[in-house]
A and B are shown apart, each in its own frame.
Chain A
Amino acid sequence: MPGPRRVDHVTCSVCRVTTRTSVQPGVRVRGRRWATNKIDGPMFLRLLKYALNRDHAEPRWFNTPAAPQDRYDVVIVGAGGHGLAAAYYLAQRHGIRRVAVFDKGYLGGGNTGRNTTIVRSNYLTPEGVKFYDRSVRLFEGLAEELDTNLFYSNRGHFTLAHTEATLRTARWRAEVNRHYGIESTLVGPEAVKDACPWIDLECGGKHPIMGALYHAPGSIVRHDAVAWGYARGASRLGVEIFQNTPVTGIEVKAGRVTGVQTAAGLIRTERVLSAVAGSTPTLLKMVGLDSPVDIVPLQACVTEPMKPWLDTIIVSGSLHVYVSQTARGELVMGAAVDPAELHSTRSSLEFVTGLADQILDLFPFLAKVRINRQWAGMADMTPDFAPVMGKTAVKGFYLDAGWGTWGFKATPVCGETMAHTLAHDENHPLISAFGMERFERMHMLGEKGAAAVGH
């Protein structure tokens, strides 16, 4: 008789999908022994095996040792996508494997598990376009690299223009994008109607659609799977992940990081990566730095599931809304950030009513569709809608922040460039424009035209 089998379930706080993640190491499942972390062949073979095996056994995704060691080569604060990706690339590309990742909550429970999962590279500044393009390329090969089904779904992405001014910005973005080899074109209203027959091009006569920026690579990706995939990849290479273990202080002596205070004790390290999104000001305060980042809630919601009718991503800058349909049929919808700074993940009635008002101008037939859930994340906003990344005035303290409402798509490239920056103590060329000293010099990046509607 096999012993009691323990299966861990991970449920996404946002979309409520439950995924079975593990069996206890060494437990007999239908006469076979399953070792912890055993790689059980390529994904398609596993899928086939799952189809034929009622028990659906899967080794544990990542392991958490009982207690941290006293010293690590690198400590990463924040087990969101960014922190985990950095841990993975540090181990995988740079051979730095004595790495610990600490999270005050659960893995992927910050903005990584709260975002609307849109991936695109149609930004406005050359620095941004090159950076996000690298990320999209990494995303395209990521399911293969992490051997995890990320549900990467290429949809195409329309940014609607209802005014001459938005049309101009769209043309500008298309030109910059094409200059860097990225597929973006200006299209007329008929192309929008073709791709999405259900749209009211007149928007009830109030703000007719004049055209759109069409970006073919625009995609949606399963956010939790990205975090879990990186966590598993990193943990297989020796990285240790500690959930429910807040970092409470950072020890700095003579301008250098010497250790990190955690709920599990003091840990010696000379290199700390802060990848805490909505808690960035708190981490900066721990090392005595002023924050260029302000915290503002960003909210989103989903409707009840419907039959598939929308296979593209639709964004309207003028109406401040965006919408896509998940594989399960829910509409995922979001808007711009809340009106003022707030360190809280409460969501509000004003948000859903405001959003519904605008969405109904685009899609009047949704009037009878119910909204099932709404939530918020704490967005780490910068004045120019570009990130703040790289080395800081404190030696050994590296920052990956300012990801506001747009950082999910940057998860792979942030991991890659921050791992490089930590390994060589030198900013990766792709992030050289993103240092926080740009605000002292007034060298703003001006990404707002491509990022103001959160996604």
Chain B
Amino acid sequence: MKIFDCPVLGPRPASEFLCAGSAIPGMQNDDLAGARHAVYFGDATAKVKREWWFHRASQLWFIVSRDTATDAVLDIGPAAGSGDPHVA
């Protein structure tokens, strides 16, 4: 079973998390065409990506760096504003 080595929750099975897709940087409310493009288009080749993942049981959000060629998780940390007391 795949395990996420989470700095907040400790090692947890990956199946407890949901992937919510790429963490898209810098979306602006006043540039809707740009935002649409950022949501629906991108470089979808295999590489290391920053993604949103949600832990169902604790209701916490994380930012995960994952290699989409190998599925290796390189980094995992709480997302800012996630409601997690560990994050300012």
**Which residue numbers of A lie inside 8 Å of B, CB to CB?**
280-282, 284-285, 290-295, 339-344, 346, 348-350, 383, 439-440, 442
Contact = CB atoms under 8 A, between A and B. Distances in A.
Contacts of A442: 36
A439 B68 contact: no
Can you list the 3 inter-chain pairs with the closest CB atoms, starting with the nearest?
A: A281-B44, A290-B41, A343-B46
A343 B36 contact: no
B5 interface: no
A96 B64 CA distance: 49
23 contacts: A280-B44, A285-B43, A290-B37, A290-B41, A290-B43, A291-B41, A291-B45, A295-B46, A295-B68, A339-B15, A339-B19, A340-B19, A341-B68, A342-B71, A343-B45, A343-B46, A343-B68, A344-B70, A346-B71, A349-B1, A350-B2, A439-B36, A442-B36
B71 A344 contact: yes
Contacts of A280: 44
Interface centre among B18, B43, B69 (most CB of A within 10 A): B43
B26 interface: no
Nearest to A340: B19
B15 A344 contact: no
A340 B72 CA distance: 12
A343 B46 CA distance: 6
Contact of B42 (A282, A291, A340, A344): A291
A57 to B, nearest CB: 44
Interface of B: 1-2, 14-15, 18-19, 33, 36-37, 40-46, 49, 51, 66, 68-71
B9 to A, nearest CB: 18
Given A281-B44, A291-B45, A339-B19, 5 more contacts: A280-B44, A294-B44, A342-B69, A344-B69, A350-B15
A390 to B, nearest CB: 16
A383 B49 CA distance: 19
Contacts of A282: 45
B40 A439 contact: yes
Interface centre among A282, A284, A294, A341 (most CB of B within 10 A): A341
A68 B42 CA distance: 33
Contacts of A281: 43-45
Nearest to B19: A340
A297 B79 CA distance: 26
Given A440-B33, A440-B37, A342 B44 contact: no
A91 to B, nearest CB: 32
B70 to A, nearest CB: 7
Contacts of B66: 340
Contacts of B14: 339
A442 B45 CA distance: 23
A295 B1 contact: no
A332 B18 CA distance: 27
B61 to A, nearest CB: 15
Given A349-B1, A350-B1, A440 B68 contact: no
A342 B68 contact: yes
A340 B40 contact: no
A46 to B, nearest CB: 45
Contacts of B15: 339, 350
A186 to B, nearest CB: 32
Interface centre among B69, B70, B71 (most CB of A within 10 A): B71
A293 B18 CA distance: 20
B41 to A, nearest CB: 4
A344 B49 CA distance: 15
Nearest to B13: A350
B43 A291 contact: yes
A281 B37 CA distance: 15
B40 A440 contact: yes
B41 A439 contact: yes
Contacts of B44: 280-281, 284, 291, 293-295, 341
